[in-house]
Structure 1
Amino acid sequence: MISRKSADSRYIVLIGVAAIIIIAPVFLLSGLGWYFVSTVTEDEATEMAERHIQLAIAELAGEVGSEAAARVDSQECFDPLDYGATGRLAVHASQSIEGLPSRRPEGVVEVIYRYWNANGYQDISDARPEYLAVSARHGEDDFRVSISSNAVGGLTIRASSPCIWPKGTSAPETPWRRAPKPPDYPGHEMTDSARSVSPR
């Protein structure tokens, strides 16, 4: 006859084994850096980047001219700062502002700076007066934005997405390895937008 103490011990052992079976794969996959996570798609990221630019330009109330549409390109996240999976890409959009009839470039940058400061953008970096450049990161979608002078005497607004999966998720049949930790040197954090972003 099995004693109650022995039965309790077996029950505890069974619970422990079940927990190991459930939890161990999670730790294994995390340790190897294999992730099957969702992000916005490349098309969605393109729309979001263009939207960030359009909202900033709208603050100028038609006082300046701009290109008909933002230029957009995508680049692979070779060295993501979140040390996450490789195989992702970042979407970059840019639009030039030209012809500043009523405001000097400094005034335009100040308007955009105030807009970003009041509308959920964080980590605002202001290089003025040495350089006519301001950059920031949106607190919700993690997109990075900037405005700076360009070679033709105008201004350029840029928006970049975090690292995303082109189709919104990594393929289940294709485990992606964790990227190596990037080198630690000053300014590296400004070279890549690499946090994953989930669809809202």
Structure 2
Amino acid sequence: MKNTITQQEANNRAEKYTQDAAASLTPPPRLEPLSRFDDTECDDPSDNGPLGRVYASRRYWLRDVPRERNAEVAEALVRWWTSHDFVVLSDKRPRENWISVENKNDGFSMSIQESVNGDLSLGATSPCVWPNGTPAPKPG
């Protein structure tokens, strides 16, 4: 079992990625909190990892973005992501503005999604991390 960044570092990085990506847009949108998870249990067995880890996640509505600019905003985010070591995992354009990416260096994922009402949301999620950065001691 390997050491990871701490839960606090995961929270800080998820927040920074979201803030920096939004700030790269012209004009920058107003961010309205949609969801925030600071220490959600990593219970997804798909990574075959040990129990006891957590992840951090942030999602914001991008306010003050005219709906007719949604495609332009999505494209601008793809440019920002690819220049910051993210790779596109899924891109449902032009059918819908829904794109997910992952950072090839630290495993953080980000996405932009368009709601049925045409509102955009932007989020970031950390990989599973140990709360203190080191594997929990085995009971016993």
Q: Does residue 1:113 correspond to 2:78, yes or no?
A: yes
The 5-angstrom pairing of residues 1-200 of structure 1 reads: 35=1, 37-67=2-32, 71-73=35-37, 74-101=39-66, 104-150=69-115, 152-174=117-139
Distance (whole Å) between structure 2 residues aligned to residue 151 and residue 99 of structure 1: 17
Q: Post-superposition shift, 1:78?
A: 1.2
User: Aligned Cα RMSD in Å?
Assistant: 2.2
Where do 5+ consecutive residues of structure 2 fail to align? none
Q: Deviations over 1:92-140 (max 9, x none)?
A: 1111101224961111111101211222112432111122111100011
> Residue 62 of structure 1: CA displacement?
3.2
Distance in 1, Cα, partners of 2:123 & 2:138: 35
Q: If each structure's strand is expressed as a fraction of its own residues, which one has the higher value?
A: 2
1:154 and 1:173, CA in 2 relative to 1: closer, same or farther beyond 3 A? same
Q: Assess, with a 3 A threshold, how the Cα gap between structure 1 residues 122 and 174 changes in structure 2: closer, same or farther.
A: farther
After the TM superposition, list the runs of 4 or more consecutive aligned residues in structure 1 that deviate by more than 3 angstroms: none
Structure 1 runs not aligned, ≥5 long: 1-34, 176-200
Task: State the percentage of identical aligned residues.
Answer: 33
Question: Paired residues, what number?
Answer: 139
TM-score by structure 2 length?
0.86
Question: TM-score w.r.t. structure 1 length?
Answer: 0.62
Q: Computing the radius of gyration over CA atoms, which structure comes out larger, 1 or 2? A: 1
